[in-house]
Amino acid sequence: MTPSRYDRLEAAKPMIECREVHKYYGDYHALRGIDLTIRAGEFFSLLGPSGCGKTTLLRTIAGFEDITSGVVLIDNKDMAGVAANHRPTNMVFQSYAIFPHLTVAENVGFGLRRDPRSRAEKAAAVEEALAMVGLKGYGARASHALSGGQRQRVALARALILKPKVLLLDEPLSALDRKMREQMQVELIKLQRQVGITFVLVTHDQEEALVMSDRIAVMFEGQIAQLDGPEALYARPASRRVADFIGVMNFLPTRIIGDTPNGVEVDLPGFGRVEIPAANISRANPDDEGPTVGFRPEAVSIVSTGAPTQSRVTEGTIDEVVYYGDMTYYDVRLDGSDGFGAKVRPIRIAMRNVFGREVQEVGARANVSWSPGSLVLFR
Amino acid sequence: MKGRGLHVYALCYLLFLYAPILLLPIFAFNNGTVISFPLKGFTTQWFVQAFENATLRRAVMNSLIIAVSSSVFATCLGIFAARASTRFEFPGKGPMMGLIMLPLVLPEIIVSISLLVVLLSMGITLNIFTVIIGHTLICMPYATVILTTAFNSLDRSLEEAAYDLGETKWSAFRLVILPLVMPGVISSLLMSFTISLDEFIIAFFLAGNEPTLPTYIFSQLRFPKQTPTIMALGTVLVVMSIILLTFAEYFRRRGNARTGANNTGGFL
């Protein structure tokens, strides 16, 4: 059996290593001790809100910013004192930075100026790079006449033609419209699999990071809050803040009853006594709001009365209905959900509108089906 | 009709501005030394006289040398200033840029006298080089403003991209930045050239015995017989200016079209 992509990446050698990287801009502490290993061939994302230091980290890897302290290794070489033009990295800029006075081919071939190959060989390399990004035959065009998606492709070809060890992408899709963005996401994944180069993507769009990455580092205030694969990140966020940033999550206050052999037993308003499995317990809860249980809107569902289910069922009343076409969001107030002296907000439930399933109305009674495995405890 | 008053106003305004210039060629070809109507007949003798005048030729030559040199110097220094002010933060940046812009509001007579005192006390002989120094000084603010605008409109990541693709700081500047600010550089050269060419006060104080075009014309106004020759000279200058501006505008538009930039106005 051939090893899965995940296993292969697990075994791959480290390509980028950051050790205790700090960066100050004057008094401003932009990077606060980044420790990070990105493996060769990985599609890695730095995800976070604006101002979290993700772009700064990318630029320190590229060599555009000096670090105040710490070590950055690329392919086992210390990058201290190595300028951007001598690093084995190339960058796709947020604005694409296409040189407007040059043609498409001149843009793509820009990095080959110091290449000893003959003119014809370079032209062939440019044509090959253009074909790779789906712009075959565009070489003679003026670069300023290109659309956003085409500029993006030119920027990719221009960076990849140098066969860098690492391709750095600074919010490359943020300037595109939604359709184009989704198309480019898929193309970027395919391209990365094809060339096998390590990709490091900076994005503030959690969906984009989840779609494209092998692993994601979520950053807040110059620190990495969680580093995980997309599924683990979504299902088991390490803190409320990460959970809040990635997708929608319901949070309910809870009281811890005690440890059990397989996890922790809690008293959850509206749900009763629940045993949360050990794997779903996050002890990193800096938000300091007391123990909280979180779950995704699609981790619970509304089932018709009497339907056979292997999950546990709780009853409630529908408070609000928001119809999205493919999905309907219900806010449901669970019976007996006001607990611990606080008014608990209704929980949000996402239901796919499959054929034959009626959209419920406000005020209707609802049976909510759930299982302890989809709950996460932040304590 | 709506706005009729404004149309009349605009027409009068333009007439006031340009009608005197139209008189230049009319009297330059008029066969008579007195500048008045009615015209006496067609002649080209004033052009011949102007061309054969050795002092005039020397004045034109001097003015061209001064204007070319000071526009090149002012533009080069302007590039440094514009690059520094748009790209870097450093202590004293505000005051420094303010000092560069100061000649714009200083009366030229003050600049000329101060320069004269300094140059004489340093024992420097007055000639066209001292005029070049003075003109570079007064052209600097214009060059700096034009070039700062050009540098400001550049996306900073263009330079980083060139750097990222293996170029050095200098070659990135030469291959990417310079071609993109070229319209600004040309504007700056032209502006400085024009300012220097017709500048009178500094040239009058700092040129020593060397004539420049404006000082020569001024000195000749005392002799009524010379007036038609000055008219002929003026006509040549106007024609040359129009040709020069046409070329500049042509290259500016071509540059804009090539980079797809918006037409942000120019000379014409």
Cβ atoms of residues B164 and A62 within 8 Å:
yes
Q: Contact B167/A85, CB-based, under 8 Å?
A: yes
Indicate if the pLDDT at residue B43 is higher than 60: yes
Instruction: Specify the range with the lowest mean pLDDT, choosing from A24-28, A96-100, A182-186, B206-210.
Output: B206-210
A95 contacts in chain B (CB < 8 Å): 155, 157
Helix axes A178-195, A148-160, angle to 10 degrees: 20
Query: What is the CATH number for B181?
Result: 1.10.3720.10
Q: What is the pLDDT of residue A270?
A: 83
**Letter for the amino acid at B131?**
V
Q: What is the pLDDT of residue A2?
A: 61
B165: nearest CB among A94, A111, A144: A111
- Interval B38-61 mean pLDDT: 83
User: Which chain A residue has its CA at the smallest distance from B161's CA?
Assistant: A97
* Tokens 């020593």, residue located: B208
User: Where do the structural domains in chain A lie, given as residue ranges?
Assistant: 5-235, 248-378
Pairwise pLDDT comparison (B225 vs A48), residue with the higher score = A48
Which has the closest alpha carbon to A319: A358, A368, A280?
Answer: A368
Q: Give bridge partners of residue A43 from the DSSP assignment.
A: A199
Q: Contact A101/B258, CB-based, under 8 Å?
A: yes
User: Does A100 lie at the interface with B, CB-CB under 8 angstroms?
Assistant: yes
Q: Which distant-in-sequence residues (6+ apart) come within 8 Å of B88 by Cβ?
A: none
B239 in any annotated domain: yes
B259: nearest CB among A97, A101, A162: A101
Name the domain count of chain B. Answer: 1
User: Which chain B residue has its CA at the smallest distance from A89's CA?
Assistant: B164
Indicate if the pLDDT at residue A187 is higher than 60: yes
The average confidence (pLDDT) of chain B is 86
A90: nearest CB among B157, B158, B165: B165
Q: Give the C-alpha separation, A114 to A112, whole Å.
A: 5
Helix axes B128-152, B108-121, angle to 10 degrees: 130
* Angle at the Cα of B71 from the Cα atoms of B66 and B77, rounded to 5 degrees: 125
User: Does A163 lie at the interface with B, CB-CB under 8 angstroms?
Assistant: no
Which tokens go with B265? Answer: 């106005």
Grouping H, G, I as helix, E, B as strand and the rest as coil, residue A345 is coil
Q: How many CB atoms lie within 10 A of CB B62?
A: 21
CB-side neighbour CA atoms (13 Å) of A230 = 15
Q: What is the pLDDT of residue A308?
A: 67
Distance from CA of A100 to the nearest CA of B (A): 5
Q: Give bridge partners of residue A252 from the DSSP assignment.
A: A293
* Angle at the Cα of B46 from the Cα atoms of B43 and B50, rounded to 5 degrees: 155
**CA dihedral sign, ordered B258, B260, B264, B265:** positive
Q: Contact B258/A97, CB-based, under 8 Å?
A: no
* Pairing assessment for the beta strands A43-47 and A198-203 based on DSSP bridges: parallel
**Letter for the amino acid at A331?**
D
Q: Give the C-alpha separation, A265 to A257, whole Å.
A: 5
User: Does A256 lie at the interface with B, CB-CB under 8 angstroms?
Assistant: no
Pairwise pLDDT comparison (A306 vs B167), residue with the higher score = B167
Distance from CA of A97 to the nearest CA of B (A): 5
* Tokens 């994005």, residue located: A203
Q: Give the C-alpha separation, A345 to A352, whole Å.
A: 22
User: Does A229 lie at the interface with B, CB-CB under 8 angstroms?
Assistant: no
Distance from CA of A197 to the nearest CA of B (A): 17
Torsion angles phi and psi, residue B78, rounded to 5:
-60, -40
B165 in any annotated domain: yes
Range of the domain at B146: 43-259
User: Which chain A residue has its CA at the smallest distance from B157's CA?
Assistant: A97
B34 in any annotated domain: no
Q: Which distant-in-sequence residues (6+ apart) come within 8 Å of A38 by Cβ?
A: A14, A15, A16, A17, A44, A166, A198, A200
Residue A196, phi-psi category: left (phi > 0), alpha (psi -120 to 50), beta (remainder): left
Distance from CA of A69 to the nearest CA of B (A): 22
Q: Where are the alpha helices (DSSP H) in chain B?
A: 4-28, 45-52, 54-87, 93-101, 108-121, 128-152, 156-164, 169-172, 178-197, 201-206, 213-220, 227-259
Indicate if the pLDDT at residue B266 is higher than 60: no
Distance from CA of B149 to the nearest CA of A (A): 18
Which tokens go with A246? Answer: 């990635």
User: Does A175 lie at the interface with B, CB-CB under 8 angstroms?
Assistant: no
Between the alpha carbon of residue A171 and those of residues A131, A176, A204, A348, the distances in Å are 23, 10, 8, 31
* Pairing assessment for the beta strands A89-92 and A166-170 based on DSSP bridges: parallel
Q: What is the pLDDT of residue B90?
A: 86
**Letter for the amino acid at A64?**
F
CATH class of A5-235: alpha beta
Q: Contact A101/B180, CB-based, under 8 Å?
A: yes
Which CATH code is given to the segment(s) A248-378? Answer: 2.40.50.140
Q: Give the C-alpha separation, B66 to B206, whole Å.
A: 12
B8 in any annotated domain: no
Strands (E) across A40-101 are located at: 43-47, 69-74, 77-78, 89-92
pLDDT in tens, B119-164: 889 988 888 899 999 999 999 999 999 999 999 988 889 999 999 9
User: Which chain B residue has its CA at the smallest distance from A97's CA?
Assistant: B158
User: Does A343 lie at the interface with B, CB-CB under 8 angstroms?
Assistant: no
Indicate if the pLDDT at residue A22 is higher than 90: yes
Cβ atoms of residues A368 and A349 within 8 Å:
yes
* Tokens 């960066």, residue located: A23
User: Does A64 lie at the interface with B, CB-CB under 8 angstroms?
Assistant: yes
User: Does A110 lie at the interface with B, CB-CB under 8 angstroms?
Assistant: yes
Q: What is the pLDDT of residue A204?
A: 92
Q: Contact B157/A101, CB-based, under 8 Å?
A: no
pLDDT in tens, A285-326: 555 677 888 899 988 888 877 666 677 888 889 989 999 888
CB-side neighbour CA atoms (13 Å) of B84 = 15
B261 contacts in chain A (CB < 8 Å): 100, 144
A142: nearest CB among B157, B160, B260: B260
Which has the closest alpha carbon to A44: A176, A233, A237?
Answer: A233
Distance from CA of A179 to the nearest CA of B (A): 26
Which has the closest alpha carbon to A294: A241, A250, A255?
Answer: A250
Same fold, A5-235 and A248-378: no
Q: Which of residues 16-35 of A touch B (CB under 8 A)?
A: none
Q: What is the pLDDT of residue B2?
A: 63
B126 in any annotated domain: yes
B252 contacts in chain A (CB < 8 Å): none
Q: Cα A261 from chain centroid?
A: 33
Q: Contact B162/A101, CB-based, under 8 Å?
A: no
Q: Which distant-in-sequence residues (6+ apart) come within 8 Å of A225 by Cβ?
A: A218, A219, A238, A239, A241, A242
Q: Contact B259/A114, CB-based, under 8 Å?
A: no
B157: nearest CB among A85, A93, A110: A93
Q: How many CB atoms lie within 10 A of CB B29?
A: 19
Enumerate chain B positions whose Cβ falls within 8 A of a Cβ in A.
155, 157-158, 160-168, 175-176, 179-180, 258-261
* Tokens 């502490």, residue located: A29
Q: Contact A142/B162, CB-based, under 8 Å?
A: no
Which has the closest alpha carbon to B134: B111, B153, B155?
Answer: B111
Which tokens go with A98? Answer: 């296409």
- Interval B180-207 mean pLDDT: 89
Mutation target to probe the A interface, by most A beta carbons within 10 A, among B165, B169, B177 is B165
Residue A257, phi-psi category: left (phi > 0), alpha (psi -120 to 50), beta (remainder): alpha
Supply the Cα-derived Rg of chain A in whole angstroms: 25
B163 contacts in chain A (CB < 8 Å): 64, 83-85
Q: What pTM value is reported for the model?
A: 0.81
**Letter for the amino acid at B145?**
V
Indicate if the pLDDT at residue B268 is higher than 70: no
Q: What is the pLDDT of residue A251?
A: 87
Q: Measure CA of the first residue to CA of the last residue in chain A; give whole Å.
A: 41
Q: What is the pLDDT of residue B135?
A: 93
Which has the closest alpha carbon to A208: A238, A187, A239, A235?
Answer: A187
% of chain B exceeding 70 in pLDDT: 95
Q: Give the C-alpha separation, A343 to B13, whole Å.
A: 76
A89 contacts in chain B (CB < 8 Å): 164
Which has the closest alpha carbon to A302: A319, A318, A287?
Answer: A318
Q: Which distant-in-sequence residues (6+ apart) come within 8 Å of A115 by Cβ?
A: A122
H helix or E strand, kind and range, residue A29: strand A28-39
Distance from CA of B181 to the nearest CA of A (A): 11
Q: Give the C-alpha separation, B186 to B253, whole Å.
A: 12
DSSP state of B176: I
Q: In what order do the strands lie in the sheet with A14-25?
A: A28-39, A14-25, A69-74, A77-78
Mutation target to probe the B interface, by most B beta carbons within 10 A, among A61, A92, A101 is A101
User: Would you place residue B267 in the very low, low, confident or very high pLDDT band (cuts 50, 70, 90)?
Assistant: very low
B190 in any annotated domain: yes
**Letter for the amino acid at A245?**
F
User: Which chain B residue has its CA at the smallest distance from A93's CA?
Assistant: B157
B260 contacts in chain A (CB < 8 Å): 100, 142, 144-145
Burial (0-12, 13-18, 19+ Cβ within 10 Å), A33: middle
Q: Contact A111/B168, CB-based, under 8 Å?
A: no
B6 in any annotated domain: no
Q: Give bridge partners of residue A224 from the DSSP assignment.
A: A219
B214 in any annotated domain: yes
